Structure 1
Amino acid sequence: MNKCWKTYLLWFAQEHTEFRSAEINSLLSLLNIEMRYVEKPKDIEPYWIVEFSSEDDVKLLASRSVSLRNCIELWAHAKSIPAIHDKLKNYPLQLYKSHFDANKSFKIEVETFCRHFTQKEKVDKLEAFSYLPVSGPVNLKNPDVTLQYIEYYGTISNDPPELPYFVFFGRWVANGLRQLIKKLSLKTRKFIGNTSMDPQLSLLMANQAKVKDGDIVLDPFVGTGSLLVAAAQFGGYVIGTDIDYLMLHARTRPSRIKQKMREKDESIKANMKQYNLEHKYLDVMVNDFSVSFWKDTVQFDAIITDPPYGIRESTERIGTTKTDCKVKEEHLHTHIPAKIDYGISHIYRDLLLFSAKHLKVGGCVVCWFPVFREDYDEKSLPSHPCFNLTANCEQVLTKVTSRRLLTFEKIRDPTPHEMETYDHEIIDFRKKYYTAREESRKERRTREAQIREENRKKYEKS
């Protein structure tokens, strides 16, 4: 049976632009949706022109995407305003006649990207569509059909062109899941910490991990559980571990400026309850990730995590530099184990080895990885023969540093040899970060000394 393909405009929010393709491709795979590109998309532009064989597929995609603002069935697009009116006048009537039924209310929205128009100018643009064969009543609040007209003036808001680069017209189909970002805002969340993940990035990670209803999802560096909230929002049953006892029990110093003490009911579970997701919460446990306590038969559908980099949060594991260290039996019940540095290279090695063993084939590991931008090379990223790197997106942090969101998909189970001998050396981000900071301080002190010396000489001459 031949599919009836229609053209659609996907309009995105202009945030985290590099993450769009990774999220959409993951959702297309998860939801088993087929999509074709009419034009090759560019990251700098907020829209894609694509084709779907079913409007239900468009709505399904929009119901999960947090990058997407809305989807429009595209009736016409052109490089000038006169051209789009010519195209609409010649658009086959049978393709949109059903939407202009006399019993269907409608409205037309005018949107401009990177240029502001007064309400009167927008009304003038609306009146230019008087030739459309609409016969139903106007309803501005809850119409049966919403038509959308968009003028695109580029992405440089402080210097827009006089005329638009492109104009689009079509029928609104669905909005994306942008409202969920506000709902999960850290400003109103019960329990947060200094490194709690932004809700939009958390939701993007859950989408790239292809979390679906009934999945078992693990975050082995759970912190305050932001990633658990996102995974549970999409139907996953969530569980987390962390070595930081005080953080998991909400006994650390509050992160909010005006809050002096933690409230008694602050916890990851309280966050889940706040969003009516308590039924998706399994547990969180204190655990040193370098010493796994899971049975060999335990498997997860997805692993999403943000390992510590050793900058804002320490990289630690249980251990001691002392030799023959033994704790007397009478002190065991109150003993707090000593901790030593847990290098980034070892963290990511353990993460991929653990995932190779405990992740289901076809499942995804989604994790952040810190890099120095000038030294970045894809060959230096963590890797394992049981995984394919399916997405690699950059979030710039400073002029010299960034972090990359890596998505690994498990393609097979490991052999015993791979579990015993696998090793992959990674540049220690923390060591280089502090070395670079110290070098920067030395350069600044040297420069300040030179300026003082130059000022002294000028003063002596005067």
Structure 2
Amino acid sequence: MRNMKKYLLWFANENIDFRKPEIDSLLSLLNIKMKFIKEPQNTEPYWIVQFDTDDDVKKLAERSVSLKMCLELWAYAETTSELHDILKNHQKSFYEQNFKPEKSFKIKVETFCKHFSQQEKIQKIEQFDYLPVEGSVKLKDPDVCLQYIEYYGTIPTSAPEEPYCVFFGKLITTGLRQLIQTLSLKSRKFIGNTSMDPQLSLLMANQAKVKNGDVVLDPFVGSGSLLIAAAQFGGYVFGTDINYLMLHGKTKPSRIKQKVRDKNESIKANMEQYKIVHQYLDVLVNDFSCSFWRDNFKFDSIVTDPPYGIREATEKIGTDKQNYIVNEEHLPTHIPSKIEYGIARIYGDLISFSLKHLKLGGRLVCWFPIFREDYTEEGLPSHPCLKLVANSEQVLSKLTSRRLLTYEKIQEPSPGTEINIDKILDFRDKYFETREESRNEKRIREAKLREENRIKYLSKK
């Protein structure tokens, strides 16, 4: 049996709660085995792990947007002197297989949560002069890049004098972080008020385990950010939405300086911009509460962000009028009226749709809004045939957040099994109630302050 090699996975210090769900999903998708040497702490930006080969590490990094870099870990310790002792005690044969006369190299220094000048970094590099390096120094694209990292915790204002931990190793690869910038909303052709951040979109596609040839649906597609992410990983993407104006690029522009939308603004234009239009199937205007798909049609994954009723309306086709009938003469020009589509009902329909149209083993990845003080897992939509495999929180404010829920379909539904939506709170109603309460409290504070200032003014007279 081959010995597993030791590696350091270094993560971007953002969306911390999403790291493990993304990596777990990719390990499952790519059929890679990883073992923890040190159980990770959620606050720390690194994992110390084992893989079978460098190739496994590279496959993981090629898909991960949480990872910054991966090192073959040669040594780690609590102090620099301990680290140097470990490196000095490595066998000669270990260095011979890594340092060849014909291979160029460089040593790079990185400090986490503490700044050092370039001169100070050079001094740290010079402490490694005992390494039996034979090749020439090359600062740009060397054959071997050695990395020295000092970790000073996560609070810059209270960083210690000495690092908590130090690491040294050979850079194997970097993560897919550059794709976040490539897909930036700032340069995207078509966006809306609720266009999803590229990093979160890519995380969702990874948690959905999208791969080449998958058919992926976003039933609340909006401006199509989630389709772009899924298409980047080889998915054939399809979207639906009730908002005719959004799908036809006729809504008010979201960019401050833009007065009117360009004629060719559309989801397809975005696909063309990123050269993934061959992955684009189509988008259709559709009321999600009235599914039009054939019963036997299956998607490999469903990735979506349903409306919460705050920036985007929660609506479905309908009327409150009794026995309402549209005359035949008006049908050609009739625009159906809409009624409120409650959040509990939206998620109930989403679970029901997934039970019918998600393949066995496929994943539903969706956002779910909550008030943090009210949150319980019992308040999430659920069904025995859908296993909740990941549940990560993105904090939006002191009071609210949204959770990224990842369900995996583990069996086909049998008659009589119920969808649990009874404990879902109406986020929209409470949100506007809370805002009104905050406004009232602000009015009372301002009135009090005005009265205090008036009394002070009168007392001076």
TM over 0.5: yes
Call closer, same or farther: CA 1:150–1:289 in 2, change over 3 Å: same
Query: Structure 1: which 5+ runs fail to align?
Result: none
Q: Which residue of 2 aligns with 1:17?
A: 16
| Equivalence map 1:57-456=2 (5 Å) | 57-418=56-417, 421-425=418-422, 426-456=424-454
Moved more, 174-183 or 157-166: 157-166
Given that 1:4 and 1:54 are in contact with CA atoms closer than 8 Å, whether structure 2 keeps it comes out as no
- Cα drift, residue 119 of structure 1: 1.5
Q: CA deviation at 1:160?
A: 1.8
Q: How far apart, CA to CA, are the structure 1 residues paired with 2:372 and 2:82?
A: 44
TM-score norm. by structure 2 comes to: 0.98
**Identity over aligned residues, as a percent?**
66
Take 2:344 and 2:406, find their aligned partners in 1: how far apart are those partners?
18
Q: Which whole-Å deviations, capped at 9, do the CAs of 1:81-113 have from their partners, x for residues lacking one? A: 111000100123323321101111111111111
Offset, 1:423:
4.7
- Determine helix, strand or coil for the equivalent of 1:370: strand
Q: What is the aligned partner in structure 2 of residue 50 from structure 1?
A: 49
User: Aligned residues, how many?
Assistant: 459
* Distance in 2 (alpha carbons) for counterparts of 1:439 and 1:262: 37
Counterpart Cα distance in 2 of 1:270 and 1:186: 14
When structure 1 is superposed on structure 2, of 451-460 and 307-316 the one drifting more is 451-460
Q: Distance in 1 between matches of 2:60 and 2:157?
A: 33
Distance 2:350 2:249 in 1: 25
Bigger Cα displacement from structure 2, 409-418 vs 14-23: 409-418
Q: 1:375-394, CA deviations, whole angstroms, 9 ceiling, x for partnerless residues?
A: 11111111111111111100
Q: Distance in 1 between matches of 2:195 and 2:120?
A: 44
Q: Tell me, yes or no, if the aligned pair for 2:380 and 2:421 is still in contact at 8 Å.
A: no
Distance 2:233 2:293 in 1: 25
One-letter identity of the residue aligned with 1:90? N
Per-residue Cα deviation, 1:290-311 (whole angstroms, up to 9, x for no partner) = 0000000110000000000000
Q: SS at the partner of 2:275?
A: coil
How large is the Cα RMSD of the aligned pairs?
1.1
Q: Distance in 1 between matches of 2:366 and 2:346?
A: 11
- C-alpha separation in 2, matches of 1:422 and 1:118: 58
Q: 1:265: Cα distance to partner? A: 0.7
| Residues 329-385 of structure 1: per-residue CA shift (max 9 Å, x gap) | 111011000000000000000000000110001111000000001111111111111
> One-letter code of the match for 1:438?
E
Mapped partners of 1:109, 1:454: distance in 2: 60
Distance 2:128 2:440 in 1: 65
Provide, for residues 97-134 of structure 1, a one-character-per-residue CA deviation record: whole Å limited to 9, x for no partner: 21101111111111111112122211111111111111
Query: Matches of 1:15 and 1:97 in 2, distance apart?
Result: 38
Distance between the aligned counterparts of 2:142 and 2:294, measured in 1?
56
SS in 2 for 1:271: helix
- 1:9–1:49 CA contact under 8 A, matched in 2: yes
Partners of 1:443 and 1:129 in 2: CA distance: 61
